[in-house]
Amino acid sequence: MSELRTEICDILGITYPILQGGMGPYKTEELAIAVANAGALGVISSIGMAATLLPEAAPIDAARLFGDDPPRVILRKSIENVTERVKQSNGVVGVNVPVAAEFLLASKMFVEETIQAREENSDIERTLRVIVTSAGNPKPWAEIKKHGLTWIHVVPSVYHAKKAESAGADIIVASGHEGGAHVSWDPVHSMVLVPAVAKAVNVPVVAAGGFCDGRTLAAALVLGAKGIQMGTRFIATQESDFEQIWKDAIVQKEERETLTGRGIFGPMRFVRNQRAERIVEQTLDDVPRFYLGEPVESNESILKLERDGFTDLVDAIPETALMFGGECVGRIQDLPTVDTLIQSVIKETHQILQDTQKFLYS
Ligand SMILES: Cc1cc2nc3c(=O)[nH]c(=O)nc-3n(C[C@H](O)[C@H](O)[C@H](O)COP(=O)(O)O)c2cc1C
């Protein structure tokens, strides 16, 4: 087992500088367990759990994914299960809470539940050490730190990174436009975003959007990041909670086969199929509104996503399933176990950094 430690490892108590991105609509419970047991940061995703509050508006079959429990109970059970199954390996996990304006009541509920779960159970307190907020204003969330948690915030620009730093975030994830699912209206890609954010803030930066192997982890370190967050790559693993149809799509698609169109809050990057193409057509109807500065993110956008009728992934065919994924679908060709993946990323990072020395002329 090779070593690769950065500041991120010390702050989070993990072995490798790799974070698993939060990924709704699933709880990513099995994935978080596998990632934490493999020495990286496993993350439970909360966004889909909130869909149980508004089943008629949500573009997922909330009851199938989560049963009848209310969102707080779904999250608590998930935290308990993950804690139980990673405590032997001293694995570390976090909870991802999107804090978009459309979502604030649910965000508050999930943050409170996470804090409470830690206060009531010392195993959870040892294991669950992180809250990762995303997709919204960081300012109201600084109190997370008062409860002994490390606070990570995800941003799409230098402006938002500075805002997160002044709000008190411990770590900033700079997420480029290549990434899967929600992306910013302003399309800044990782190659420009990551070094710009690393230069602009003093807290450690983690790179997201397009990172999927040792070559890209090595690149992230060179760009000034102290680690990477991977979403799309982790979907295509044996343990991930995603449907087989979604895993297969990630493996089969090439790098041109993603599209951005309007999502639930802001644009999303979809795996390209007929369904995604229809969403992009609908989005183009709204582009003039966006350029005129009118708000385009509202409940209406959720309903619009749903207008075609959601095809449950259990019975879906590849052209009609609603699936999100980043541009790195074009760089993913296998379905390894999480442990095999992480070991190969670390090994390859060492190799790439060494080889780079060799081909440089002195
Ligand atoms: C299917 C999918 C669902 C996602 N859902 C969330 C989410 O609920 N919350 C969040 O903060 N980020 C979400 N993301 C973004 C990831 O956490 C991560 O930042 C992103 O995938 C990184 O880019 P990559 O896909 O190129 O690895 C999602 C990404 C994907 C692919």
DSSP assignment of 299-313 equals HHHHHHHHTT----T
Residue 108 CB burial class (10 angstroms; 0-12, 13-18, ≥19): middle
pLDDT at 55: 60
Q: What is the pTM of this model?
A: 0.94
Q: What phi, psi does 114 have (nearest 5°)?
A: -65, -45
Domain definitions of the chain by residue range: 7-250+331-359
Give, for ligand 1, the residue of 23, 97, 132, 134 to mutate: max count of ligand atoms closer than 8 Å to Cβ: 23
CATH number for the domain whose boundaries are 7-250+331-359:
3.20.20.70
Cβ–ligand 1 contact at 47 (below 6 Å): yes
Structure-model confidence comparison of residues 77 and 317, the more confident one: 77
d(CA 180, CA 106): 22
Report CA-CA distances (Å) from 151 to 97, 109, 110, 130.
11, 16, 14, 6
d(CA 128, CA 82): 9
Kindly indicate the confidence band of residue 265, based on its pLDDT and cuts at 50, 70 and 90.
confident
How many CB atoms neighbour CB 56 within 10 A?
7
Ligand 1 atom, smallest distance to 246 CA: 1
Question: Which amino acid, one-letter code, is at 271?
Answer: V
Which residue from 87, 49, 89 is spatially nearest to 69, judged by alpha carbons?
49
Residue 270 CB burial class (10 angstroms; 0-12, 13-18, ≥19): buried
Written as six digits, the tokens of 82 are 């993950």
Contacts of 290 (CB under 8 A, 6+ apart): 185, 296
Q: What is the mean pLDDT of residues 106-122?
A: 97
Helix (H, G, I), strand (E, B) or coil at 164: helix
- Contact between 182 and 268 under an 8 Å Cβ cutoff? The reply is yes
Q: Is 218 left (phi over 0), alpha (psi -120 to 50) or beta?
A: alpha
Q: What is the mean pLDDT of residues 252-273?
A: 91
Q: What is the mean pLDDT of residues 22-35?
A: 96
β-sheet bridge partners, residue 267 = 262
Written as six digits, the tokens of 312 are 């449950």
Q: pLDDT digit string (tens) for 115-127? A: 999 999 999 999 9
CA of 209 to the centre of ligand 1 (A): 8
Cβ–ligand 1 contact at 261 (below 6 Å): no
Question: Could you report how far apart the first and last alpha carbons of the chain are, in Å?
Answer: 32
pLDDT at 128: 98
Average pLDDT of the chain is: 90
Which residue, judged by its Cα, is nearest atom 2 of ligand 1?
Answer: 23
Which residue from 7, 45, 9, 74 is spatially nearest to 224, judged by alpha carbons?
7
pLDDT at 324: 93
Instruction: Return the sign of the alpha-carbon dihedral for residues 235, 134, 50, 282.
Output: negative
Q: Which of 1-5, 23-27, 215-219 has the lowest mean pLDDT?
A: 1-5
- Tokens 């008062």 belong to 146
β-sheet bridge partners, residue 261 = 268
Which residue, judged by its Cα, is nearest atom 5 of ligand 1?
Answer: 23
Q: pLDDT digit string (tens) for 283-320? A: 787 666 656 655 555 445 444 554 444 445 655 778 87
Kindly indicate the confidence band of residue 275, based on its pLDDT and cuts at 50, 70 and 90.
confident
What letter does residue 319 receive in the DSSP assignment? T
How many CB atoms neighbour CB 325 within 10 A?
28
| Widest Cα–Cα separation across the chain | 65
Cβ–ligand 1 contact at 98 (below 6 Å): yes
Q: What is the mean pLDDT of residues 40-59?
A: 81
Cβ–ligand 1 contact at 156 (below 6 Å): no
Which residue from 178, 254, 257, 171 is spatially nearest to 211, judged by alpha carbons?
178
pLDDT at 310: 44
Which residue from 79, 37, 83, 22 is spatially nearest to 234, judged by alpha carbons?
22
Cβ–ligand 1 contact at 263 (below 6 Å): no
Q: What phi, psi does 347 have (nearest 5°)?
A: -60, -45
pLDDT at 103: 82
Which residue from 74, 91, 83, 70 is spatially nearest to 27, judged by alpha carbons?
74
Structure-model confidence comparison of residues 253 and 291, the more confident one: 253
Which residue from 347, 326, 128 is spatially nearest to 235, judged by alpha carbons?
326
